[in-house]
Amino acid sequence: MAITEENPGYKWVGTRPIRPDGLEKVTGKARFGADLVLPGMLYGKVVRSPHAHARIVSIDTSAAESMEGVKAVITGADFPDLAANGAHPSDIDVANNAIARDKVLYEGHVVAAVAAITREQAEAAAKAVAVTYEVLPHVLTVDEAMADNAPLLHEAMITKGVDPAPEEPSNIASKILHERGDLDQGFGEADAVVEREFSTKPVHQGYIEPHAAVADANSDGRAHIWCSSQGHFQMRAYTATVLGVSPGTLKVTAAEIGGGFGGKTVIYLEPLAVRLSQRAGRPVKLVMDRDEVFRATGPTSGTRIKVKMGVSKDGKITAAEVWMAYEAGAYAGSPVGAAGMTAIACYDIPNFVVEGYDVVCNKPRVAAYRAPGAPMAAFAVESVLDELARNIEMDPIDIRLANAAVEGTQASYGPKFPRIGFVETLEAIKEHPNYTAELGPNQGRGVAAGFWFNAGMMSSATVHVNENGTATVVTGSPDIGGSRQSMALMAAEELGIPYESIKPVVADTETVGFNDVTGGSRVTLATGAAVVDACRLIVEDLRGRAAKTWDVEVDQVEWVDGQAQHVDGAQPPLSLNDLAAKSGRTGGPISANASLNSRGVGAGFSTQLCDVEVDPETGVTRVVRYLTAQDAGRAISPDYVEGQMQGGVVQGIGWALNEEYIHDTEGVMENPSFLDYRMPVASDLPMIDCAIVEVPNPAHPYGVRGVGEVGIVPPMAAVGNAIHDAVDVRMTELPMSPIKVLEALNENDG
């Protein structure tokens, strides 16, 4: 671990205890989305479109309804027409994506759902729902969607962000633009200029747990939902919108979650389960198969990106021009906005234009995926920077150091950076033995860097002190990356009691204050700050109780090592245990709530070093060594920080080498299984070496920055740059599969 700051002598923060959820998970007791079974529960099955683009002419549910065991069949007509009610366009999209009303926009789009006594009956009934489609021409890529006279997904879509607004509708939902300085002047000052075009394919988050929801509706209009999600408050809000009810009528309990990576911040099954349960009068469970997960959830965008950059002989970037188009899938909302903000955010560049387009096409609606939008842009920018460094014969770390954003740099997306640790991650790589390790034949080394904002947003926490001096820490942030451990470590530090005395809990929407989603790497930052606030209220309260007990002023009482101590030692200390046992005599139960809107995010940077070996005859690339350096601000739980760093890298390597959505010409996904959607397996990867850099975020009590996302930003470029170093081909398309690498090698030879 690269420690750049003195550790202020924390007792718990920064240690590696056993995870609080570990035992239940390794023994199989933990309950995930699909595990809940309620008395009388029915099984649901969703009917999905076989077409990429079609008008729904009619849906005949009569055959399905009369089948044995079938208790409910629903279609889009069973939900309020939000468009007719004048709802916000983004809410209308959420509703139409959950269940189509008049058009299906991708293969796998929901058109109906059934509930029956057994799973088999539900499957048979789903097959018996007769849908008549009028098939429409479809567009699958940004190129097809942006072409003149392309078939339109949304007949009334007028591009936003263009002045004056276009008169004709198109598949371009919006345009973004960031500009500074003078491009011509910048390129004029350059000694080397590289211009390249890149393309990437949609990739899925690949969480191992498919989406699942159980709903139990009451006849009074209330309903209880159990689901696997990254934020049950958000599931409640979206589901209420789609059902046209008040959020308060829904209670959502977060199941244990088997991965999300951004893909479980949106709803799919929840409103269907509630409506089926209402119609049937019994609880209903809906669970997706893996092929449904691929065909209808996630993924992140396929893209086309052009980058032109220039540098002077001393390695200073003089100008950058970036053009990008991101697939949104069926509804507006690709992460091109974030891509535009992050693309060159690592660097201090005087002259640039970054232009981006959010483009709809007939594929599943994209969902957030770890640092949404940033990895594809970084693939392009960091590949071009690598080439520029080679052109001027400069070390890849040095060229990045020469341009690195530091405290006070005006970020390309607007604000001035507060204290950040990009330079420290570059130095950590340079100092690591991997940087100078010897390379064998056909091996090569690549460097790439990445930036991610990290989010703050709203969180609440409640801390209860139990009668024996242990504590329960309650939040509403589903734990997808180890946050329960981090909450417990910070609470232990604050209260001065052992980690083992703290039980961290994720509570339902009726038991704790509002929490935004677990996303944007925000939980340890924002929910963590709420936990710290609540613990500090508890400590204040405890000092007061000790003061009362001793009959002294409260400023005579300090809280040290889990004990109230008199500043002069005039009284024997009172432990948390003592105070808890006597709480009835000092004011009643000891508990505190804290709610906040985060006081400031801490931007995250990662620099990575990848060594590959390329088989020049088969095009197979194996990663032989990998190092990631990331600024965590403060690693509350170093095990989990490393887990996040390694996880991001591994997903990035999969994205780099083999993962992609493959569609046939009809727009049907050809590889909706883990056999043919090739995520890496354990044997594909070396141990990912981690260098945790700690440049504390001034806006968090312990200096935390988010760590969950930025790790996936550099890998594609790091791998591509390493391939170039190994076999002298510049890969500009993802995935860099054996087929593509061999093609490139053949071209080089030919």
Cβ pair 452, 710 in contact under 8 A: yes
Q: Is 587 exposed, middle or buried (0-12, 13-18, 19+ CB in 10 A)?
A: exposed
Asked if residue 342 binds another protein (CB under 8 A), the reply is no
How many residues make contact with another protein (CB under 8 A)? 24
Residue window 673-712: x/- pattern of binding to another protein, with contact defined by CB under 8 A: -xxx-x-xx-xx----------------------------
In angstroms, rounded to a whole number, what is the distance separating the alpha carbons of residues 377 and 334? 13
Contact 630, 711 (CB under 8 A): yes
Q: Least distance from C-beta 268 to another protein, angstroms?
A: 22
Helix H or strand E segment including 284: strand 284-287
d(CA 141, CA 83): 27
The region that residue 556 occupies, defined by phi over 0 for left and psi between -120 and 50 for alpha, beta otherwise, is: alpha
Residue 528's nearest CA partner among 440, 662, 610, 634 is 634
Which among 730, 729, 724, 738 has a CA at the least distance from the CA of 611?
724
Closest CA to 619 of 444, 741, 750, 747: 741
CB of 338 to another protein, least distance (A): 30
Query: Please, what is the minimum distance in Å from the beta carbon of residue 67 to another protein?
Result: 18
**What does the alpha-carbon distance between residue 337 and residue 301 come to, in Å, rounded to a whole number?**
12
Task: State which of residues 658, 697, 721, 732 lies at the interface with another protein (CB under 8 A).
Answer: 658
How distant is the alpha carbon of residue 483 from its chain centre? 14
- On whether the CB atoms of residues 603 and 630 are closer than 8 A, the answer is no
CB of 671 to another protein, least distance (A): 5
Contacts (CB under 8 A) with another protein, residues 660-679: 662, 670-671, 674-676, 678
Nearest CB to another protein, comparing residues 382 and 659: 659
Residues 491-550 that bind another protein (CB under 8 A): none
- Residue that is written with structure tokens 């468009």 in the block: 83
The answer to whether the beta carbons of residues 171 and 394 sit under 8 Å apart is no
Task: For residue 172, list its beta bridge partners.
Answer: 359
Q: Which of 657, 691, 710, 727 binds another protein (CB under 8 A)?
A: 657
**Does 442 sit near another protein (CB under 8 A)?**
no
In angstroms, what is the minimal distance from the CB of 686 to another protein?
11
Question: Which of 216, 659 has the CB closer to another protein?
Answer: 659
Residue closer to another protein, measured from CB, 548 or 740 = 740
Fill in the per-residue mask, 606 to 645: x = in contact with another protein (CB under 8 A), - = not in contact.
-----------xxxx-x-----------------------
Nearer to another protein, 129 or 152 (CB): 129
Locate 180 and state its tokens.
């500074």
Q: Could you say which residues in the range 727-746 bind another protein, by CB under 8 A?
A: 737-739, 742-743, 746
For another protein, the closer CB: 406 or 662: 662
Beta strands in 181-249 (DSSP E): 192-200, 212-217, 223-227
Measured from the CB of residue 677, what is the shortest distance to another protein in angstroms?
A: 10
Residue 595 binds to another protein (criterion: CB under 8 A): no
Q: State the nearest-atom distance from the C-beta of 123 to another protein, in Å.
A: 10
> Shortest gap between Cβ of 193 and another protein (angstroms)?
34
Cβ neighbors of 11 (< 8 A, separation 6 or more) are: 492, 493, 496
CA distance 588 to 548: 13
Binding site for another protein (CB under 8 A): 617-620, 622, 657-658, 662, 670-671, 674-676, 678, 680-681, 683-684, 737-739, 742-743, 746
